[in-house]
Amino acid sequence: SAVCSFGFSYDEVIPCMTQRDPNTDSFPLYELRPDGTAYAHLLELREDKIKNFLSTANFAGVVDHIPIRYEDLVWDDDYTDDALYLTLPFPGIAGLLEKIRDQTKLVPDITAGWILDEDLVFRAEQLGVGITKLDPYFVQWMEDNIDWDVEELVGYSL
């Protein structure tokens, strides 16, 4: 089978081959459905990515599966407003470790130091800060095209 940019095969991305150097140039590659057809829009690709990610729970050797939303890794000093929506006991890497501990009964070594994240190494940056007004046409398009049943599988809801 033909090898395209970044090692994809011809039925996985378009364009398959390009004159640009994939190691130095920035250019779009559009991932295709498993049957080789194009997705109608990015949200359809997201749906398949979510379903594929969740299917890894059934892979051989996987004992447990903990899907985490990026927002739950963001450590906000005043997270109480969003506490009802967290999928972790509390935000940040410490919340993730707590969830892992609860599900595996393995206890992290607090004396390791990095768990407390005093150097902010594991603090995820907030995305979209300052976005207060979205284009109403974009909001409507999202509402018309997003599959909330799939989004709920990873902790998002209306």
Please write the tens of the pLDDT for every residue from 7-32. 777 778 777 766 766 666 666 777 88
Phi/psi of residue 99, nearest 5 degrees: -65, -45
User: To the nearest whole percent, how much of the chain has pLDDT over 90?
Assistant: 18
**Rounded distance between C-alpha atoms, residue 81 and residue 126, angstroms:** 15
pTM above 0.75, yes or no: no
The predicted pLDDT at position 113 comes to: 58
Which pair of tokens denotes residue 12? Answer: 């996985």
CA 105 to chain centre: 26
In the structure, what pLDDT confidence band is assigned to residue 1 with cuts at 50, 70 and 90? Answer: low
Q: Which residue has the higher pLDDT, 127 or 141?
A: 141
Which pair of tokens denotes residue 110? Answer: 């607090």
In the structure, what pLDDT confidence band is assigned to residue 118 with cuts at 50, 70 and 90? Answer: low
